[in-house]
Structure 1
């Protein structure tokens, strides 16, 4: 199976988008801005970014993809100016930036063209992106993504609107509020988003860089009747080995249903219909 590389960006308050009901992957779910790494992300000259001269970091293309997708989907462009000051330009409120966005979305220009030609000596701000976590879509999904989440901080919450057909809406949300909506069945959160937002609520926005983990998280799915259990790395029922990321969904066993005192619990549960509704995070050690 072809696993697609992708990258997402978690911004401050937090910025999230609700996906359209017409998309094939994660319809109606709230997700972070992001998408697939494209060939142009890999070939964009490093001089158009604020990274220091030298060898490009191994995650260079993922960083470019995260910034590019943020601009394409939400109209927000993360740059630094000639004074090395970070700016978040908004296509919603800035006519010039809106023209840039239109030219790119209509295929008339590329991000490379735009950054090469800008007269303000702006550079893409990829240096401020901090690696956060890495999620691999479970084996049974038709599309699998090896997604790297990054976080960055902004000084203000700019006005935003939808710039992508993939989203029904985009908005700044408080992590605790969107989680409560999801727990009560009023909103749908994709499992990685629900998990990472829970971590943010528990630890606060100021210490996100300390929450970075290099562990690739690949949930193993267990059919529990009306709901699905997504076992995470560290759960006592998680199956390790060379096929740990290629484990088909299985029927729940008595061992997985009736855990004992002292068993480590690290899992996500959610309803089958609508998919990912009534999502819950369990992490007991």
Structure 2
């Protein structure tokens, strides 16, 4: 990120984006899946982040087979229109699959237990040769929106050249599936307890953007994925402000 406290005359319009906080339970406690983005990325280069990315125009395809809360519910939880809400959920599922190999899809009665069989489709999705709707239709799969929960809504500060209107979702790793780092956008991937990820950042072993740091701090209050899924979240839009404090740059949290 380019840290400047001077707002531009014409701020960039934020692009709709979806971020998925992928969780699992272990004997050591609840863990979250994190990836360190490659240094060549145009946005958040070298940062440790959750899987996610911008909405593709094809994510709005209404032909996607869907199970779980309808788009109207997601629009009510996050605000906005039903078409945008639907595209965001599709982007969340697509990006999670592309970046971690975890597929939040199946039938209305069961979730995919081995997503590795769709490795070729995953590559085609990442290269944009294939749309989510076409992939699911060809594989006879249904998007499982019921595996997601709304968590947060962040908008990139106005000072940034690349801005995102990002909705954050929580999902638990489906039984039988495995998360990996086989994506061109990440140089490394790992499961960590939230408190350990924060300790790495505090020690300078990783770098976190404010939304990631804030989310990890929230997750330290939970001991299991069941506790996280049971939370009744009231989503408020957060638009941080960047200010200069002497020789330092501070990020001030605030609701839009």
TM-score range, shorter chain: 0.7 to 0.9
Q: Partner of 1:241 in structure 2?
A: none
Question: Does 2:112 correspond to 1:87?
Answer: yes
**Post-superposition shift, 1:56?**
8.0
Question: Does 2:226 correspond to 1:206?
Answer: yes
Q: How many residue pairs were aligned?
A: 227
SS in 2 for 1:14: strand
Higher relative contact order (CA 8 A, sep 6+): 2
Q: Partner of 1:66 in structure 2?
A: 92
| Kept in 2: contact 1:132–1:211 (CA 8 A) | no
Question: Does 2:78 correspond to 1:50?
Answer: no
1:209-251 CA distances to partner (integer Å, 9 max, x unpaired)?
A: 42623210111112123432211227xxxxxxxxxx5xxxxxx
Gaps of 5+ in 1: 235-244, 246-285
1:82-110 CA distances to partner (integer Å, 9 max, x unpaired)?
A: 6x1233543xxx3x311222333344432
Q: Which structure is larger by alpha-carbon Rg, 1 or 2?
A: 1
Decide which of 181, 205, 223 is 1:186's aligned counterpart.
205
Single out whichever of 217-226 and 141-150 deviates more from structure 2.
Answer: 217-226
Which TM-score applies when normalising by structure 2?
Answer: 0.79
Question: Does 2:134 correspond to 1:113?
Answer: yes
Distance (Å, rounded) in 2 between the aligned partners of 1:223 and 1:54: 40
| Kept in 2: contact 1:80–1:86 (CA 8 A) | yes
Supply the RMSD in Å over aligned alpha carbons.
2.4
**Post-superposition shift, 1:19?**
0.5
1:30-87 CA distances to partner (integer Å, 9 max, x unpaired)?
A: 11111111111111414x12137896853211111011001111222111236x1233
| Kept in 2: contact 1:135–1:216 (CA 8 A) | yes
Decide which of 185, 192, 196 is 1:166's aligned counterpart.
185
Single out whichever of 11-20 and 209-218 deviates more from structure 2.
Answer: 209-218
